[in-house]
Homo-oligomer: A and B are copies of this chain.
Amino acid sequence: MPSQERSHSLGSIVERFGGELIGDRNILITQIAPLDLAQACHLSFLAQPKYRSQLQKTKAGAVILGREARDLTLLPRIVCDDPYVYFAKVSAFLNPLKALLPGIHPSAVIAANARVPASATIGAHAFIGENVVLGERAVIGPGCCLSNGVKIGEATFLHPRVVIYHECVIGDRVVLHSGVVIGSDGFGMAMDEGRWLKIPQIGRVIIGNDVEIGANTTVDRGAMGDTVIEDGVRLDNQIQIGHNVHIGAHTAIAACVGIAGSTKIGRYCRIGGAAMIGGHLQIADNVTISGATAVAKPISKAGIYTSVYPFESHSEWLKNAAHLRHLHELAKKIRELEEQGKKQKRKTK
């Protein structure tokens, strides 16, 4: 954890972020910590009922609680509507991004006609191509590579070794983690006389404001139109976004998800880790897809969707999975038994 921590009184935190303060307002807080690791200088929080037993044993100096948990501890506490959101706000306050000195590292290579404001920071060995435009206070980490014509918004932060292909457009306050590749060619080709012909990928990637993209995630450029990621989208690590995919605002996608070409995901969707979504599908707003689920058809209604084979011990699995290959025949037998039952009934009447 960071070493130089300033301390804040519980009272000053409540003045800043609201909530009801119960207990000593002079308690000094230096950092946020989970209930089981917290010490006297830490502010902790209870966001889920299953951690209530930890609340009894915590050594935290104070805790953030929902109204329903108000009386579960005698510790100094902040009672509020949503303890997880409150925690997020306090943590952001206690752990601000380190301000970087603006400037260009002498080892960076920058095209003469690139527009780099004085407030931008460009790291060692970065490469900035022709006609690139950087917004105010943009940070381009060491080893990043921005090809010709890329546009980067204000206060956007590229961690080391991000690659952005030509002509792609990134909004304001976007965070791209290391190893991200934006604008690589989509998987487009036609089979002609026993050989694949490549279809030029002439679209771009357009990324809105306040988007964050995790390490080693890839977003392909459009084949003809653009691939679009709207404002506020959150992508975790190692996600693959195919060409011409469109992701609606504020959708969150966990790690290892793949989304095939031309699929349109709605706003405020939540997609679990390792889900796989086929191409040319439309997914409605507010859809939740469970982790490891394969989606091969459109989803037109908000709700939760799942397709996971339930895991079990290998020996049990062997017994059950064998029958899965004959489910069709089992169903047929049941129909026959029902027919027989009906006949039998008539006979014995």
Which A residues contact B (CB, under 8 angstroms)? 1-2, 31-34, 37, 82, 84-85, 87-89, 91-92, 94-95, 105, 107, 109, 123-125, 127, 141-143, 145, 147, 159-161, 163, 165, 175, 177-179, 181, 184-185, 187, 189-192, 194-200, 202-204, 210, 212, 214-216, 218, 220, 224-225, 232, 234, 236-238, 240, 242, 250, 252, 254-256, 258, 260, 268, 273-274, 276, 278, 288, 290-297, 303-328, 330-331, 333-334, 337-338, 340-341, 344-345, 347-348
| Copies in the assembly, this chain | 3
Contacts A294-B311, A304-B313 given; 12 further ones with Cβ under 8 A?
Answer: A123-B127, A179-B216, A185-B212, A215-B220, A216-B238, A238-B240, A255-B260, A256-B276, A296-B310, A306-B317, A306-B318, A333-B334
- Closest chain-B Cβ to A157's Cβ sits at a distance in Å of 11
* A255 and B258 form a contact (CB under 8 A): yes
A218 close to B328 (CB less than 8 A): no
How far in angstroms is the closest Cβ of chain B from A141? 8
Bound CA span A317–B234, Å: 27
Task: Give the residue name and chain of the B residue nearest to A348 (CB).
Answer: B347
> Nearest-CB distance from A149 to chain B (Å)?
9
Question: Once the chains bind, are A255 and B88 in contact (CB under 8 Å)?
Answer: no
Residue contact A203 to B1, C-beta cutoff 8 Å: yes
